[in-house]
Amino acid sequence: MGYITVKNTVIKAIYTSVPKQKVYTKDYEWVSVAERDLFAKTTGITERRVASESTTCSDLCLHAAKELLSDLKCRDEIEMIIFVSQSPDYFLPSTAVILQDKLGLSKNTLAFDINLGCSGYIYGLSVVGQFLQSGNIKKALLLCGDKSTISTNFQDKSTYPLFGDAGTATLLTYDDTVENWGIHLASDGSGKDSIIIEHGHSRHPYGSVSDEYIEYEPGVIRTKKHLALNGMEVFNFALKEVAPSIKQMLENFEINIDDIDYFVLHQANKLINESVRKKLKIPAEKVPYSIQDFGNTSSASIPLTICYSLKNEIESKQLRLLFAGFGVGFSWGSALLTTSSIRTKIIEHD
C-alpha cells in the first residue's frame, strides 16, 4: 500500500485503563536470578500489569471509555466505535457491538471489530480517519487493547514475562481546520509463524487438538493453545521493515527527524526499539517508553505510552508526532500527525 492522507481528523482525548495488579520481573522464579536480570536489561521490563481471570480486554476498554465519555460529556454524540484487539470476548458476536450497548450509545452507532495486534492502533486510526474525513461521521471511539497474559504459559520464559494487559479509548472528531495526517500500512503474512497461537480456532479447533505440554527448549514449555513467539525472527523483521518504513515515511512527506517532537513506537521490547532508534539516528529523548512499567501491551502500547510519558506536553503543547506499530502478522504501519491539547488519563481497573 502506498502512502495515504487522512483529512479533517483530530484526536481529542486518549484514556487508558490498566489492571491494578502488578507483577515484577524479579519475582519470576521459573528462571534463575541471572536470567531475570538479563531479561530486564534487554527488554526493559521490570514490572507489568496483569488482569484478573474474570477481567477481559473489553472490560479494560469499557472502563477507559466510560471515564472518557463522562469527563468530556459527549456520550450522545458518538456515532462510531471500533474495537481493535486479538483477545475479543467471544468468537462471535463482535465485541464492539457489545461495547456499544454497555456504553449506552445510540443504536445508530456504527460498530465493528478489527483483528490486529501490535500494529492495531495505526490501522485503527486509519480506518476511523477514512470515515471522519468525509464529515458524515463527526465523533468516533477507537478502543484498542489486549489481554495477552491469558495466552501465555508460566513455564515459557519467551512470552510469560513479556506481556502486560491494558485497554485504551481514543476520541477522534471531525475538524476541517487541522493539518492532514500521513499514514503508511503494510503486511507480510509469510511471518505468521513468528508470533502465533496455533490451535484453538478454525484451522485447529478446540476438541481436535491436544493439551499436551511440549518442551521446545530449556525454559520454554507450552501447549499449542498458548502464544508462541520467535524473538530473533521478530527482531530481524523490525530492523528489516520498521526502520526503513519510518525513514520512507519521513522522506515521502519531506520531513526531517529534527522536525518530529516524538517518535512513539509500539513497545515491543527495549532491545528492538533501541535498535530501530539507533538505526534511524533518532535522539534518545525523542523516543518515550512505557514498557518498563507495563510490559508489551500489544495494540494498547502506543496510546498507553502517550498517556504515561507525554501527558504534560501533549495536553499543553502542539506536537508533531510519528507513531509506528509493528509485530504479529507480520503487520506494520506508521502515522505522521500534528496534535494539540489532547486530554489524557491512566486509570486503574480493580
Annotated catalytic residues are 118, 266, 296
Q: Are 174 and 132 in contact (CB under 8 A)?
A: yes
Using a 10 angstrom Cβ sphere, with 0-12 exposed, 13-18 middle and 19 or more buried, the burial of residue 275 is middle
Terminal Cα-to-Cα distance of the chain (whole angstroms): 41
Q: Are strands 139-147 and 80-84 parallel, antiparallel or unpaired?
A: parallel
C-alpha separations of 307 from 14, 145, 286, 287, 342 in Å: 7, 14, 15, 14, 10
Which three cell numbers, joined as nine digits, stand for 58?
473489553
- Spacing of C-alpha 170 from chain mean position: 12
The reply to whether omega before 112 is within 30° of 0 (cis) is no
- Spacing of C-alpha 22 from chain mean position: 19
C-alpha separations of 101 from 15, 20, 140, 258 in Å: 20, 25, 15, 45
